[in-house]
Amino acid sequence: MQNGNTNKIWELLNTVPDPEIPAISVVELGVIRNVIFQENSFIISITPTYSGCPAVKAFQDDIKICLKENGIENFELKIVYSPAWTTDWMAEETKEKLRKYGISPPSEKAICPQCNSKSTTLVSEFGATACKSFHKCNDCLEPFEHFKCI
């Protein structure tokens, strides 16, 4: 039986990339609410970024695979919808990683991740996924995705 070292679980979770934005981990995205050890199993609470976001299923599968590969079998994933995830849970360094990856991080206004121009045009409310909108920069003309602010 494993001991209840939740730090180890956090470490492992931090190696699981966001299925949509591989540059950041599910921990950096801020969807892991907490990890507790209870009755000999780890309870991992997850708050999806957007309810109905198809990535939620992918998150869970990736987390399960990662933990099992590391010999951890005694865990349970719990989806927690309240309080709802907000982009405020995203750390500044995570936003920086998004920018480097070419995605405009959550903010009131979509800023071009290539040239930092604030002069951008909304092309579509939805990008590759419902969590992002699609924009075009008026200065460097590069299209980019903006992580929606919620």
SS (H, E, C) 11-53: HHHCCCECCCCCCCEHHHHCCEEEEEEECCEEEEEECCCCCCC
Task: Count Cβ atoms below 10 Å from residue 11 Cβ, excluding itself.
Answer: 12
Does residue number 102 form part of the binding site for Zn ion (CB under 5 A)? no
Q: Which of 9, 137, 146, 148 forms a contact with Zn ion (CB under 5 A)?
A: 137
- Contact between 138 and Zn ion per CB under 5 A: no
Q: Among 24, 103, 112, 131, which residue interacts with Zn ion (rule: CB under 5 A)?
A: 112
Q: Is 140 a residue that touches Zn ion (CB under 5 A)?
A: yes
- In single-letter form, the type of residue at position 122 comes to L
Please, what is the minimum distance in Å from the beta carbon of residue 112 to Zn ion?
Answer: 3
Cβ nearer to Zn ion, comparing 99 with 148: 99
Instruction: Tell whether residue 123 is a contact of Zn ion (CB under 5 A).
Output: no
Part of the chain binding Zn ion (CB under 5 A), chosen from 1-9, 12-20, 63-71, 136-144: 136-144
* 9 counts as binding Zn ion under rule CB under 5 A: no
**Contact 110/120 with Cβ under 8 angstroms?**
yes
> What is the rounded CA–CA span in Å between residue 100 and residue 52?
27
Q: Which stretch binds Zn ion (CB under 5 A): 16-24, 41-49, 52-60, 129-137?
A: 129-137
**Nearest CA among 148, 112, 108, 107 for reference residue 131:** 148
- If the CB atoms of residues 55 and 137 are measured against Zn ion, the closer one turns out to be 137
Residue with tokens 């591989």: 22
Which residues are near Zn ion by CB under 5 A? 112, 114-115, 117, 137, 139-140
